């Protein structure tokens, strides 16, 4: 270690390698067999269970937990994968505290839900660690489908189509598949190269070809795909980022949080990653939290998260907020950035307090300066380079029903499509449902 958290500016190796490894290890270590049984015993096997309703992919949670409790985690995994082929990743990254576990009747009964996410991981890990792929592909149909984007939506769609016997070709702009699972999720939520391993495991269904480094609009076009394939699914996510629209945004040290997170996820050596001594994160979503927490874990001395609205309005869940607070992230609510101060490199962020009336937000005139050598922008992503000819709604590709776009033979799902929350699990559901619709239209 050459540096410390108090080394000025942006520097690497602020913490010992050992501490870094500890900081970025599994946030929730996997349950062992005994822990899984104890947790499974708590499930009441509710009728028409609220947890199922709360799950965007409608996993039969009481059934899979009962299968764990009776010593058949393999059957439990199949129950999960039938609804959600990325059940392994969702078990790790789903905000269960706002989905299944929030709906769990034991949350209502005693404020302690059944550990659904961790039990799901227990079941899916059992099967994935054994290298078993639980599904078989139907006989070839001769139909070919192009999938743009190898993120959760694209992968779920491709897998379901392949299961039905169609030939699928996935095109992804990045060097690796997985999308945000690979590039956009906090390191400690999915460790040990799980995202990459999951893609490999998913592809075992057969019938799927992956083309990396192929971006829509650069290397391929929608028109070309429509001409060549029987159907096209668009699941390329939101590649653009919102601008701060504050003076001085171009100064050194001002970066997009998604890039910071992506670099971190792909880093071979965490100690080689530079991070500021004083980091300010702007935004209130999961990306903001992930960036803030990881800055702290990399060794930043002070990390402040600035959000323009109040705590209740924050898109990041209470659980995520508490996690950040527990790691030492400071929150400033009701404040918006005005200007990045500095001379070449950023030295501070000037902010103005806000007041909100309904949806509208105005500055109060009162300002303050936050010292900062690194400023991470996490103020939302945008659809970048949507193909011409597709109807757009609210900045996203407009879809109806199971992901049908305004263009014939073109479906869309995941973050790039309208409707649904921008969550891995929602993307999986949309990809899967679009695949069923595509299948119906191809064989119908």
Which residues of the shown chain bind other proteins in the complex (CB under 8 A)? 37-38, 41-42, 44-50, 105-106, 108-109
Q: How far apart are CB 112 and other proteins at their closest, in Å?
A: 12
Rounded alpha-carbon distances, angstroms, from residue 314 to 149, 278, 282 = 29, 23, 12
Nearest to 339 by CA among 380, 367, 310, 298: 367
Would you say 27 or 105 has its CB closer to other proteins? 105
Q: Are 294 and 184 in contact (CB under 8 A)?
A: no
- CA dist 99 and 95 (Å) reads 6
CA dist 85 and 159 (Å) reads 8
CB of 69 to other proteins, least distance (A): 9
- Cβ 31 to other proteins, closest distance in Å? 15
- Provide the minimum distance between the beta carbon of 49 and other proteins in the complex, in angstroms, as a whole number: 8
How far is 66 from 253, CA to CA, in rounded Å? 51
The neighbour count for residue 360, using CB atoms within 10 Å, is 7
For residue 359, give every residue at least 6 positions away whose Cβ sits within 8 Å of its Cβ, in sequence order, or none.
none
**DSSP code of residue 29:** P
CA distances to 18, 108, 146 from 137, rounded to whole Å, are 44, 42, 18
Asked if 62 contacts 45 with a C-beta cutoff of 8 angstroms, the reply is yes
Q: How far is the CB of 95 from other proteins (least distance, A)?
A: 22
User: Cβ closer to other proteins: 47 or 245?
Assistant: 47
| 42/214 with CB nearer other proteins | 42
Would you say 45 or 368 has its CB closer to other proteins?
45
Cβ closer to other proteins: 38 or 325? 38
439, containing H or E segment: helix 424-443
Smallest distance, other proteins to C-beta of residue 48, A: 6
Quick one: 32 or 357, whose CB is closer to other proteins? 32
CB of 418 to other proteins, least distance (A): 26
Of 25 and 53, which has the nearer Cβ to other proteins?
Answer: 53
């Amino acid at each position: 270690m050459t540096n410390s958290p108090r080394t000025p500016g942006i520097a690497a190796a602020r913490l010992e390698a050992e501490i870094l490894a500890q900081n970025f290890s599994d946030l929730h270590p996997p349950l062992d067999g005994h822990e899984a049984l104890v947790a499974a015993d708590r499930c009441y096997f509710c009728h028409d269970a609220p947890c199922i309703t709360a799950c965007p992919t409608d996993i039969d949670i009481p059934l899979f937990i009962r299968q764990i409790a009776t010593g058949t985690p393999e059957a439990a995994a199949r129950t999960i994968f039938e609804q959600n082929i990325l059940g392994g990743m969702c078990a790790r990254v789903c905000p269960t505290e706002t989905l299944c576990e929030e709906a769990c009747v034991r949350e209502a009964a005693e404020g302690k839900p059944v550990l659904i996410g961790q039990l799901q991981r227990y079941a899916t890990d059992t099967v994935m660690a054994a290298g078993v792929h639980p599904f078989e592909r139907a006989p070839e149909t001769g139909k070919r489908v192009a999938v743009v984007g190898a993120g959760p939506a694209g992968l779920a769609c491709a897998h379901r189509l392949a299961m039905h016997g169609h030939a699928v070709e996935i095109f992804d702009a990045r060097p690796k598949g997985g999308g945000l699972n690979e590039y956009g999720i906090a390191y400690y939520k999915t460790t040990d190269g799980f995202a990459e391993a999951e893609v490999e495991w998913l592809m075992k269904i057969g019938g799927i070809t992956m083309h990396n480094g192929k971006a829509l609009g650069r290397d391929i076009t929608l028109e070309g795909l429509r001409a060549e394939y029987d159907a096209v699914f668009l699941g390329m996510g939101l590649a653009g980022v919102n601008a701060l629209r504050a003076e001085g945004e171009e100064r050194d040290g001002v970066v997009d949080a998604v890039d910071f997170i992506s670099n971190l996820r792909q880093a071979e050596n965490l100690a080689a990653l530079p991070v500021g001594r004083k980091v300010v994160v702007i935004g209130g979503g999961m990306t903001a939290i992930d960036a803030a927490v990881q800055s702290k874990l990399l060794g930043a001395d002070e990390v402040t998260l600035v959000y323009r609205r109040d705590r209740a309005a924050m898109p990041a869940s209470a659980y995520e907020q508490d996690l950040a607070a527990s790691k030492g992230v400071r929150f400033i609510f009701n404040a918006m950035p005005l200007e990045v101060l500095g001379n070449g490199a950023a030295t501070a962020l000037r902010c103005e307090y806000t007041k909100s009336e309904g949806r509208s937000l105005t500055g109060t005139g009162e300002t303050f300066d936050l010292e900062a050598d690194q400023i991470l922008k996490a103020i939302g992503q945008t659809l970048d380079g949507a193909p011409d000819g597709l109807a757009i709604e609210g900045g996203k590709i407009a879809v109806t029903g199971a992901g049908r776009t305004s263009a014939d033979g073109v479906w869309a799902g995941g973050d790039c499509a309208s409707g649904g929350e921008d969550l891995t699990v929602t993307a999986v559901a949309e990809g899967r449902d679009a695949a069923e619709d595509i299948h119906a239209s191809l064989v119908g």
